[in-house]
Amino acid sequence: MLKTSLTHPEILRVLAAAGHHAKILIADGNYPASSKRGPRSEVIHLNLAPGVVTVSQVLKAILATIPIDHIACMGIPPDDPYAQQGEPPVWADYRRVIAESGSTLTLEPILKWDFYRHVESPDHVLTIQTADQSLWANLLLSVGVRTS
């Protein structure tokens, strides 16, 4: 029996094979996971029903399982109508999850089209498609190194 909170066998398989700098996308329910991904990435669908599961829930499980050294969120282009509303509320939830994990990492917004280019990298190994209904809820994680 595993002692980690993450028990999904396919996610664990990909994470175990991922090395330093490998990219993991935790996608919201609106993300085009079938077309915006790296050439060698695998897609795991956790979108059971609207809102089940969320990006925050997956982030919490990933942070408890492997070292992460960078977290980027999909930034809002200035010409997008949502840009006038300020920061998406879900980003505050991500900061809470990161802090509760004991990490000092910060969110780095990467504008939408640049974010897609980062995801399409050969380093992108895994997309976890959630059913999160929050807007601008996509995260791109970079695997770190184990120090102990």
Give, for all 148 residues of the chain, the pLDDT tens digit: 677 889 999 999 999 999 999 999 999 999 999 999 999 999 999 999 999 999 999 999 999 999 999 999 999 999 999 888 989 999 999 999 999 999 999 999 999 999 999 999 999 999 999 999 999 999 999 999 988 7
pTM: 0.96
For residues 135 and 96, give the distance between their C-alpha atoms in angstroms, rounded to a whole number.
18
How far CA 46 is from CA of 27, 108, 111, in Å, comes to 10, 25, 25
Q: Which helix (H) or strand (E) holds 80?
A: none
Neighbours of 117 (CB within 10 A): 12
Distance CA 115, CA 5 (A): 28
Single out the residue of 104, 90, 18, 17 nearest to residue 58, CA to CA: 90
Write out pLDDT tens, residues 47-67. Answer: 999 999 999 999 999 999 999
Domains of the chain: 9-143 (3.40.1650.10)
pLDDT of residue 76: 95
Q: Are strands 42-45 and 68-75 parallel, antiparallel or unpaired?
A: unpaired
Residue 35 host element (H or E): none
Q: Give the span between the Cα atoms of 39 and 37, in whole angstroms.
A: 7
